[in-house]
Amino acid sequence: MIKVKATKKEIDISGSSKDLLSLKDDITQFIISKDNETIIKAESGFNPSPYPFALEQIILRKGNGKNRFEIDGCALYITGSPLCLQNIVDNLPLEGDKGTHVHYDHLILEDYVDDISPDVIITLRI
């Protein structure tokens, strides 16, 4: 199951290859659906150290612009146009060695990520 750990300025989304493939499928299905919002459960009850807290769900919302990542309570909200949400799928590290990761932020992907979003790291756990 996907783990989501965070500070106010950084979000770490991690999972095994199987977990990230499932996340890819969930996002892809959401993009082609008529739904405007969907919830993806994340692992809970683990020690998020060195991050101060773990988030229990990812809530995807369809919007009109770049992907915006926001934390509210124990949830990570990601709002973006279908094209921008697809860019998350295109950048998931589905293969590689332990610790393979992608920095998914506005400095690297300025056309797809809102500049007020915290830094996002997507990590492959083996």
Percent helix, strand and coil across the chain, each to the nearest 5: 20, 35, 45
pLDDT at residue 98 in the model: 78
- pTM of the predicted structure, to 2 decimals: 0.95
CATH code of the domain in which 60 resides: 3.30.1360
Residue ranges of E strands in the chain:
3-6, 10-15, 37-41, 53-55, 57-62, 68-72, 75-80, 101-103, 119-124
Helix, strand or coil, per DSSP, at residue 20 = helix
The pLDDT of 13-28, averaged and rounded, is: 96
Cβ-based burial of 97 (10 A; exposed 0-12, middle 13-18, buried ≥19): exposed
Count of domains forming the chain: 1
Mean pLDDT of the chain: 95
Residue ranges making up the domain that contains 112: 3-124
pLDDT band at 97 (very low <50, low <70, confident <90, very high): confident
- Rounded Cα distance, 40 and 115, in Å: 24
Helix, strand or coil, per DSSP, at residue 101 = strand
pLDDT at residue 96 in the model: 87
User: Which amino acid belongs to residue 91?
Assistant: N
User: Which amino acid belongs to residue 49?
Assistant: S
Q: Which two tokens stand for residue 41?
A: 């459960």
pLDDT at residue 99 in the model: 81
